[in-house]
Amino acid sequence: MVNWFKALIGIVDDDDKLVEITGLMSEPEAVMWVDRLKDEGIGAVVQNRGLPPYTSSMSDNYTVWTTALHADRAREVMRNDDAE
């Protein structure tokens, strides 16, 4: 079965499951983190947790998600970048 179809009907391997790795932030900041994670070879996406179209890209309604398999590594990259 195709992975996207499995996800659609709720059959997802634990490693393929999407997990939220950040708290709420602005869209530009979330996109910056996604780009940074992609530079490290980690696939990530931004999700708007607000009520479109009534949210601004500058409001703190956005989160970053990645697969469970890559979540720990993504958090580590983000922690190390914040420390610098």
Determine, yes or no, domain membership for 3.
no
Residue ranges making up the domain that contains 30: 14-83
Determine, yes or no, domain membership for 61.
yes
pTM over 0.85: no
What CATH number corresponds to the domain at position 29? 3.30.70.1530
Contact between 33 and 20 under an 8 Å Cβ cutoff? The reply is no
Determine, yes or no, domain membership for 9.
no
State the total domains in the chain: 1
43: left (phi over 0), alpha (psi -120 to 50) or beta: beta
Contact between 46 and 62 under an 8 Å Cβ cutoff? The reply is yes
| Tens digit of each residue's pLDDT (9 = 90 or more) over 61-78 | 999 999 999 999 999 999
| Tens digit of each residue's pLDDT (9 = 90 or more) over 14-59 | 777 899 999 999 999 999 999 999 999 999 999 998 876 677 777 8
Determine, yes or no, domain membership for 8.
no
